[in-house]
Amino acid sequence: MFTAGLIERPVSWVALAGFMGTGKSRIGWELSRALAMHFVDTDKLITRVVGKSIPEVFAEEGEGYFRSCEQEVVRRVTRLEHAVISLGGGTFIHEENRRILLERGPVVVLWATPETVYQRTRHSDRPLLASDDPLSRIRHLMDEREPVYKQGTIHVHSDGRPSEEIVEEIVERLWAWSDTQHAWAERSSLLGGGDRASD
């Protein structure tokens, strides 16, 4: 990873998206250590700036306020360099957030089954999962959001896998993605900057 005193990384910016409990916060932190990059968790940033926990923000300010904080944070984190960004579960669902994020760099989407998500979140206080039947709520919300998460750049399953293995797969897939990007850039410069549609 270290070459001539410089750190060789596949990307200088990457975001992690996906449903609640798929591991964005945990994997994002571990990925940032593996790539020696800064780490920002948008949920944590919002709670720090607002001075309230997410359940408090939802209860006292409303979900709309939380979503507007998310939008502001997305604009800011896309300006960072050498950063791994763990998004909230709903951040990528918002169309404008999605456009800005995908324009900035690769968005890795983490996936897990509703059962895994339920097991990982059952002792937490995520406001959108506060229900008499959280598993059904997870299934419903996941079905609704699935087509949008599919718009991410790289997709990685997290069920029954240790975090180190997931991080390793993400790093490999980011290298493959960056090779493809470079190949496209080289090809279009050889073609005099011509666009892909007219190749």
Ligand X SMILES: Nc1ncnc2c1ncn2[C@@H]1O[C@H](COP(=O)(O)OP(=O)(O)OP(=O)(O)O)[C@@H](O)[C@H]1O
- By CB under 6 A, name the binding residues for ligand SKM: 20, 43, 54, 88-90, 126-128
Query: Who's near 81: CB < 8 A, 6+ residues apart?
Result: 12, 13
Residue 9 vs 24, nearer CB to Mg ion: 24
Measured CA to CA, the distance from residue 40 to residue 23 in angstroms comes to: 14
Determine contact, residues 126/118, Cβ cutoff 8 Å: no
Residue 101 vs 171, nearer CB to ligand SKM: 101
Residue choice 14, 16, 25, 112 for contact with Mg ion (CB under 5 A): 25
CB of 90 to ligand SKM, least distance (A): 3
Residue 25, interface with ligand X (CB under 6 A)? Answer: yes
Q: Binding site: what residues are annotated?
A: 21-26, 43, 67, 89, 126, 145, 161
Residue 170 near which of ligand X, ligand SKM, Mg ion, none (CB within 5-8 Å, type-dependent)? none
Residue 114, interface with ligand X (CB under 6 A)? Answer: no
| Residue number of the CB atom closest to Mg ion | 25
Q: Binding site for substrate: what residues are annotated?
A: 43, 67, 89, 145
Measured CA to CA, the distance from residue 155 to residue 173 in angstroms comes to: 9
- For the chain, the farthest-separated pair of C-alpha atoms sits apart, in whole angstroms, at 60
Residue 97, interface with Mg ion (CB under 5 A)? Answer: no
Residue choice 46, 107, 166, 170 for contact with ligand X (CB under 6 A): 166
Residue choice 38, 52, 104, 161 for contact with ligand X (CB under 6 A): 161
Which residues are registered as beta bridge partners of 6?
A: 3
- Residue bearing tokens 């059952």: 122
Measured CA to CA, the distance from residue 25 to residue 41 in angstroms comes to: 6
Residue choice 13, 14, 23, 47 for contact with ligand X (CB under 6 A): 23
> At CB < 8 A and 24+ separation, what contacts does 97-101 make?
97/70, 97/71, 98/148, 98/151, 100/74, 100/75, 101/15, 101/17, 101/74
DSSP secondary-structure letter at 57? I
Which residues are registered as beta bridge partners of 83?
A: 13, 38
Note the residues at the interface with ligand X (CB under 6 A).
Answer: 18, 20-26, 43, 86, 88-89, 120, 126, 158, 161, 163, 166
